[in-house]
Structure formats: structure tokens, C-alpha cells
Amino acid sequence: MTRRVTAIFALCLCCTIIQAKQKGPSLINYGAKTGFSSAIYEVRDLVIAGVPIKEYMAKSEISSFYTAFTRLNIKRHYIQTEASYNITNYSIDFNAIEWNPSAQPHEKSAISTKIIGIEVPLYYGYHIVKEGPYGMSFFIGPKAKFTLTDYSMHNSENIPYTYISESINSLNFSLMTGFGVNISRVFFDFAFEYGLHNISKGFTTIDFEDNMSTQDMVFNRRKNVLSFSIGFMF
């Protein structure tokens, strides 16, 4: 992954040098970017075997995304929309004794999820600095997130079920804000997005006695994300 980002950066830098003598931005620009993100889930309810879990440790793993975008420029202002393929990894663990009183104190239980989706934001941006090839801007706007449920998955460890299936909302919304810096056509964006609602519709579980339930396990959460990206604008 590091080699890939280095190669993309080198390509962008070469293109920037070649086009350095071009004039300011067009009315409409197109571009692409890639980067890394870290999901920060805001857990509202966590229930295992019908028992609420109060103490847990969230582990945000590095995720990735690949984006194409279109930008409409109006002097220092711009409107931008994107289509992004996003892979989010996240896990949470807790002491098994939280739900199983007979467990050993050192025993751990864990749940990990991998959510894959297409994300489409629409945001307004303003150039705070716009001098020659250098610029700095901030942006804000809503984002729609379409979950590819057939490709998303989860794993569990030391959980009292032989089968677990989670139904995640196929459409989620968030509000994103951030700032970017650019040198000619190469830019770097730093963004934060806040999930506006619970992404989980619920779980279906089957325990070791073949009892099926839709109430025995709950993992209600909002997905907040910190991200960094590097891109090139045409």
C-alpha cells in the first residue's frame, strides 16, 4: 500500500511539473484521489446473549478509499461532488465475563466488521488562500453512503453463537467537513465526517442449541471517520 501511494504521488508530481505553466483553474475541473481513513464508531448499545456490555475496547483499523470527482469553480468558491469506493475495517473487544459469568477473567470476546460501499458527497468549498500555484481551502457538506451488503462482512471470536448475520442499512448519511492544501494540481485533503444515525438494522443469531433470535445480539453504532487523501486535478 505504501508503494502504491508513493507511485501515485510521483505521478502527480510529474504531471504538475509538466503543467506548471498553465493558467488558473477552469470553470470545471475533474480529478482523482486516494487515501486512508480511520473509523471511530460511536457505540450506543452493545448486547451479547441478551446481556448489555458496559466495558469494551474499540479498535479502529486503517481503511482505504478511491475517488473520482468533479468540481465547479466560482472565483474563490467551489461546489464538488464525488464517487468513492470505500473499504472500512473496525473491531471491538471486551471481557467475556461481561456476558458469561463463568468465563475466566482474562478471556476476551471480539467482533470485527468490514463494510464496503460507494459514497457520494456534495459539498461547498472556499479558498482561504489562492495565490499562484498555492492554495488552501475548507469544505463542508452532506454525504450519502450506499452499502454493498453482498461484499461487507463480519467476524466474531468467543461469542455464544454458531451463526451471526447483521443487516446494515443500505443507505446512510453523514456530514463531512475538512480542509485541503494544493500545490498547482496536486492536493492533500484532511476530513472528518460525522454519522447522522445508527448504521445497524439488527442481528439474526443461532446459538449452540439451534435457537434463532433477532433480539439476542445488538450492536447499534454511528460511524464517524477521519481521513487523509492525496489527489490530482485535471
2-233 topology per CATH? Porin (2.40.160)
18-62 confidence digits (pLDDT tens): 444 445 558 999 999 999 999 988 999 999 999 999 999 988 888
pLDDT at 33: 97
pLDDT at 25: 57
**CB-CB contact of 22 with 29 (8 Å):** no
pLDDT at 151: 87
Percent of the chain with pLDDT over 70: 89
- Show Cβ contacts of residue 74 under 8 Å, excluding neighbours closer than 6 positions: none
DSSP assignment of 173-234: EEEEEEEEEEETTEEEEEEEEEE-S--EEEEEEE-TT--EESSS-EEEEEEEEEEEEEEEE-
110-164 confidence digits (pLDDT tens): 999 999 999 999 999 999 999 888 999 999 999 999 999 888 888 899 999 999 9
Q: Is the pLDDT of residue 181 over 70?
A: yes
pLDDT at 6: 44
Q: Is the pLDDT of residue 14 over 70?
A: no
Angle formed at CA 25 by CA 24 and CA 30, multiple of 5 degrees: 150
Say what the pTM is.
0.82
Average pLDDT, the chain: 89
